[in-house]
Amino acid sequence: MAEPENKYPDNLPGRYYVDDQCIDCDLCRETAPKNFTRNDDGGYSFVYKQPETPEEEAQCKEAMEGCPVEAIGDNGE
């Protein structure tokens, strides 16, 4: 389960975030490309845009539920 205290500082403030358990599998970026992107230097994903539409919200939730290491949380700021 993702922990807010371990989230990457790259995450845009808001409900969703990625923490340091991320293994850079690309699932979240494929599932919700408008909300997740990659930190190329660190080799991990992060939230660069919080969801603004019901479609984006559904995609973020799907990415969170599909994350193989549970690195995505939905209890951010």
How far apart are the C-alpha atoms of 50 and 41, rounded to whole Å?
Answer: 22
Looking at residue 76, its pLDDT comes to 62
- Cβ proximity of 6 and 62 under 8 Å: no
Looking at residue 77, its pLDDT comes to 63
Tell me, what CATH number does 24's domain have?
Answer: 3.30.70.20
Please count the structural domains in the chain.
1
Question: Residue 53: which residues within 8 A CB-CB, separation 6 or more?
Answer: none
Question: Residue 39: which residues within 8 A CB-CB, separation 6 or more?
Answer: 8, 10, 45, 46
Question: Residue 25: which residues within 8 A CB-CB, separation 6 or more?
Answer: 67, 68, 69
Task: For residue range 27-57, list pLDDT tens digits in order.
Answer: 999 999 999 999 999 999 999 999 999 999 9
Confidence of residue 75 (pLDDT cuts 50, 70, 90): confident
Residue 28: which domain range? Answer: 4-73
